[in-house]
């Protein structure tokens, strides 16, 4: 099967600040575990404010400039399924289709999600929220195993949130809704937890292990981007350069503007946020949109609450009912919070739901091959 993959063409949506992003209290936050340089200070905090205005949108789906020009390739990743066979399986045996990523990462859900299994090579901080697409789970496991193979005595990789079994809103995140986002704690020396918080994680982290993790993520999976604070980036960049990594490749990772693989985001000073492409899962999600009404329990539309929205208004707009919306989202009252996403059950086919055009996964951003030894 050709490696080029169709994916959902994603559009810019509401600001990342709506849900507050990944808050410092995220499950699995890793604490600083080495003495910190008392002389170090956050002198760049003020300058960071201008960066944060753009970084607030970091976790929202955006059109990827690397792939926008490749969106006419046709169905590739699910080409083994004709439209007729896809329809038959969706109606009769949807579990046979495998994982399906529906909608956007900040307004989406997951069908037939896969749970990351326990392993000595990683620690599941919150196993109940460790569900993702098949691609996400496979890519993540391969990266963790690659680090462990290179460093057998490394502590387990801390896997914080991935997503809920059926996707959808996962507090406190804006994203993590469609099975393609993962939060990973940093590696620290000795893998110890001193029991105190520190802002200066970049001074305490194990640079060797964390750089090995970043490389493994990029080599072993179809990474869309990695979000982490710019101070963490600076330490990793300098370390990698001193280890002899190709500077041009590093600049593609860190210093390529909107096309950078590693990008700054607020509240990401204690973990990596990795977003993967999930070729087959996303392509199936695009193709089943017109078929949702054939599976009533899956016939939902994802809506992010805007100012002025009411349950009655949404019920009328989407041919639903207030009681159906409340039941689908566990709401005990009619109060709505701006920025939250809702699963809205439909009483019939969604005639206004857009079917996004295709997108192709770009080649992996791999390090250059080392020159042959003389």
Residues 266-278 have pLDDT tens digits of 889 989 999 999 9
pLDDT of amino acid 148: 97
Average pLDDT over residues 285-296: 87
pLDDT of amino acid 199: 60
pLDDT of amino acid 43: 36
Average pLDDT over residues 154-160: 95
pLDDT of amino acid 7: 37
For residue 212, name the pLDDT band (cuts at 50, 70, 90).
very high
**Any alpha helices (H) in the chain, and if so which ranges?**
48-55, 83-92, 134-150, 207-220, 230-242, 247-254, 279-287, 311-317, 322-329
The better pLDDT of the pair 171, 5 is held by 171
For residue 156, name the pLDDT band (cuts at 50, 70, 90).
very high
Average pLDDT over residues 356-365: 83
pLDDT of amino acid 130: 97
pLDDT of amino acid 51: 42
pLDDT at 164 over 60: yes
pLDDT of amino acid 317: 86
Could you tell me the domains of the chain?
A: 6-282 (3.30.1380.10), 293-358 (3.10.350.10)
The better pLDDT of the pair 194, 150 is held by 150
β-strand partners of 114: 132
Residues 35-62 have pLDDT tens digits of 333 333 333 433 343 344 444 455 666 5
297's CB contacts (< 8 A; 6+ apart) are none
The better pLDDT of the pair 154, 8 is held by 154
φ and ψ at residue 363, rounded to 5 degrees:
-60, 150
- What's the pTM value of the predicted model, to 2 decimals? 0.78
DSSP character string of 1-66: --S--EEEPP---S-GGGTTSS-TT-TTPPPP-S---TT---TTTTTHHHHHHHHTTTTS----TT
For residue 143, name the pLDDT band (cuts at 50, 70, 90).
very high
Residues 306-338 have pLDDT tens digits of 899 999 999 888 888 999 999 988 898 889 988
User: Measured between alpha carbons, how far is 297 from 361 in angstroms, rounded to an integer?
Assistant: 30
For the chain, give the mean pLDDT. 80
DSSP H/E element including 159? strand 157-159
Work out whether the CA dihedral 362, 367, 371, 373 comes out positive or negative: negative
């Amino acid at each position: 099967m050709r490696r080029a993959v169709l994916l959902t063409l994603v559009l810019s949506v509401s600001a990342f600040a709506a849900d507050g992003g990944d808050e410092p209290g995220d499950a699995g936050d890793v604490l600083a575990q080495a003495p910190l340089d008392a002389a170090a200070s956050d002198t760049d905090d003020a300058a960071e404010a201008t960066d944060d205005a753009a970084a607030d949108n970091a976790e929202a789906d955006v059109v990827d400039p690397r792939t926008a020009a490749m969106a006419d390739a046709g169905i590739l990743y699910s080409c083994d399924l004709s439209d007729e066979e896809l329809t038959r399986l969706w109606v009769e045996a949807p579990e046979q289709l495998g994982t399906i990523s529906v909608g956007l990462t900040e307004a989406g859900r997951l069908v037939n999600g896969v749970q990351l299994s326990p392993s000595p090579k990683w620690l599941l901080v919150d196993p109940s929220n460790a569900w993702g697409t098949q691609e996400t789970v496979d890519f993540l496991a391969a990266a963790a195993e690659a680090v462990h193979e290179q460093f057998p005595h490394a502590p387990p990789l801390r896997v914080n949130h991935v997503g809920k079994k059926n996707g959808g809103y996962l507090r406190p995140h804006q994203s993590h809704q469609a099975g393609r986002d993962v939060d990973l704690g940093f590696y620290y020396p000795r893998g110890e937890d001193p029991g105190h918080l520190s802002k200066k994680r970049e001074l305490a982290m194990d640079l060797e292990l964390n750089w090995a993790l970043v490389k493994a993520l990029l080599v072993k999976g179809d990474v869309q981007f990695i979000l982490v604070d710019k101070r963490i980036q600076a330490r990793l960049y300098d370390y990698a350069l001193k280890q002899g990594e190709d500077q041009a490749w590093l600049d593609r990772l860190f210093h390529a503007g909107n096309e950078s693989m590693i990008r700054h985001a607020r509240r990401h000073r204690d973990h990596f946020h990795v977003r993967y492409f999930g070729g087959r899962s996303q392509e199936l999600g695009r193709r089943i949109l017109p078929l949702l009404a054939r599976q009533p329990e899956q016939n939902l539309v994802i809506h992010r609450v805007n100012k002025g929205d009411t349950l009655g208004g949404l019920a009328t707009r989407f041919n639903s009912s207030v009681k159906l919306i409340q039941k689908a989202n566990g709401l005990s009252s009619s109060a709505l919070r701006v920025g939250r996403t809702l699963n809205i059950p439909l009483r019939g086919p969604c005639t206004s739901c857009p079917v996004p055009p295709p997108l192709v996964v770009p080649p992996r951003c791999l390090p250059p091959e080392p020159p042959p030894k003389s």
